[in-house]
Amino acid sequence: MKAEPAVGFLALHDKRGWLAVAIATLVLCVLVPILSLAVPVSSPLHLPDYLVALFGKFLCYGIVALAIDLIWGCTGILSLGHGVFFALGGYAMGMYLMLSIGAQGVYKSALPDFMVFLDWKELPWFWRGFDNLSVALLAALIVPGLLAFAFGYFAFRSRIRGVYFSIITQALTYALMLLFFRNETGFGGNNGLTDFKSIYGYDLHQPSTKVMLYVLSALALLFTYLLCRYIVTSKAGRVLRAIRDAESRAMFVGFNPTSYKLFAWTLSAVLCGLAGALYVPQVGIINPGEMQPANSIEMGIWVAVGGRATLFGAILGAFVVNGLRSFFTAAMPNAWLYVLGLLFIAVTLFFPDGVAGALGRLKRKS
């Protein structure tokens, strides 16, 4: 006889699942900070700062991958424009970081340097309030969410789906990229926002600040994972999968696909905004290049490599692809595009269920 299934929050995983989550959390949130801060620099076990920042970046990518898995893997909508939401979150945080530079910039003005350069006399209205961290964080979640909601509302209402939806999301990120490239838009144009000094009073160049941001990213990833897991295992998650597999049937059964899709889509955008807000202080720059259509497509391949609709596979995929990128761009820069291109082809042709699927098959065999 099986034991009574656990209820509520604990039901998200079985015992072994929870154990895996706990171990991953311990490694990411405790082991890495100890190796970086407590282990002396001379020790071979010491984790250098740049690796902490790199891992922090990967964690943010992991959040993005989860967001895309939610909308693509579980709901069947491939977005080629998630880079926009990521970048918008990043820009909101970048605005806060920009204003917290204060008068320490090159021009010693309270205005951000690029505004002095453009000969602006005062902050534009949409920059007001961004000197407050909580306002900026809120904006990092709300702005991508609002954009996604408006865009999704019109798109899903007119029942645009499949590749059409993918293509217009690509147009969306392309249009916004062009918009942000303009100096007059008020976000630093081509150069974007950079040269940040401190966040909430902490020096961004201090190792302790880096580790702090890294731990925050790890916690955010854990939170996002549990949230997505909760949604996917809930009744709503089943409706999402029903929509993915047979939208018309789900409709005939009496569900309204539009509102479910809109929910998943908007939430996905909000999570990307969160990832962007955590990403920017760790890499120290945000510019319109993040909105390039190519970036958004690459985000999709993280999920495809990891394995769709598995959530933990998406995180794994983000880590694997970006790890490969870091390795190849340093070791064999010319080979990287070949690797990436072949990854795209191989995953779609030969491993449609990705790394997670391969792991699952291994487990079943043994």
Partner 1 sequence: MTRIRLSQTATWLRLVLPLIALVASLALAKIARADPLSEDLSGLASNDSSEVSAAIVKAANRGDARALSALHALEEGTLRFDAQKHLLIKSDTGALKDALSGAPATAQGKLEEPASDNEVRRALSPALASLSLSAPSAAVRLKAAHELGRPSDEIVPIVRQVLAKEADPEVKIALSLALAPADMVSDKPNDRIRALEAIRVAADSTFKSDVEHLLSKSPDGKFVEPEANVRAAARAAISAIETRQLLINSVGNTFYGLSLGSVLILCALGLAITFGLMGVINMAHGEMMMIGAYTSFVVQNFFIAHLPAHLNWYVAVAVPAAFMVSGAVGVLMERTVIRHLYGRPLETLLATWGISLLLIQTVRVIFGAQNVTVANPSWLSGGVEILPQVVLTYSRLAVIAFSVVVMLFVWVLMQKTRLGLEVRAVTQNRAMAAAMGISTRRVDMWTFGIGSGVAGLGGVALSQLGNVGPELGQGYIVDSFMVVVLGGVGKLAGTIAGGLGLGLVNKYLEPVAGAVLGKIFILGFIIVFIQRRPQGIFALKGRAAEVS
- What is the three-class DSSP state of 281? helix
The answer to whether residue 331 forms part of the interface with partner 1 (CB under 8 A) is: no
Candidate segments 178-186, 248-256, 312-320, 321-329, binder of partner 1 by CB under 8 A: 178-186
Give least dist CB 337 to partner 1, A. Answer: 4
List the one residue from 12, 64, 71, 78 that touches partner 1 (CB under 8 A). 78
Residue 239 CA neighbour count, 13 Å, CB half: 18
Rounded Cα–Cα distance for residues 295 and 81 (Å): 9
Tell me the backbone φ, ψ of residue 199, rounded to 5 degrees: -130, 120
Residues 6+ apart with CB under 8 A from 7: none
The answer to whether residue 293 forms part of the interface with partner 1 (CB under 8 A) is: yes
Nearer to partner 1, 174 or 202 (CB): 174
Give least dist CB 332 to partner 1, A. Answer: 12
Q: Token pair of 331, please?
A: 């070791």
The answer to whether residue 340 forms part of the interface with partner 1 (CB under 8 A) is: yes
Nearer to partner 1, 105 or 257 (CB): 257
Q: Crossing angle for the helix pair 82-100 and 133-157, nearest 10 degrees?
A: 160
Give least dist CB 263 to partner 1, A. Answer: 20
The answer to whether residue 250 forms part of the interface with partner 1 (CB under 8 A) is: no
The answer to whether residue 188 forms part of the interface with partner 1 (CB under 8 A) is: no
Rounded Cα–Cα distance for residues 86 and 213 (Å): 17
Tell me the backbone φ, ψ of residue 312, rounded to 5 degrees: -65, -30
Q: What is the DSSP letter of 29?
A: I
Segment 148-167, which members bind partner 1 (CB under 8 A)? 151, 154-155, 157-160, 162-164, 166-167
Find out whether 308 and 69 touch, Cβ atoms under 8 Å: yes
Nearer to partner 1, 53 or 155 (CB): 155
Nearer to partner 1, 104 or 348 (CB): 348
- What is the three-class DSSP state of 168? helix
Residues 6+ apart with CB under 8 A from 82: 64, 67, 68, 169, 268, 269, 272, 296, 299
Nearer to partner 1, 151 or 312 (CB): 151
Q: Which residue has the tokens 């985000």?
A: 299
Nearer to partner 1, 23 or 171 (CB): 171
User: Where does this chain bind partner 1 (CB under 8 A)?
Assistant: 72, 78, 80, 151, 154-155, 157-160, 162-164, 166-168, 170-172, 174-175, 178-179, 181-182, 293-294, 297, 300-301, 304, 334, 337-338, 340-345, 347-349, 352
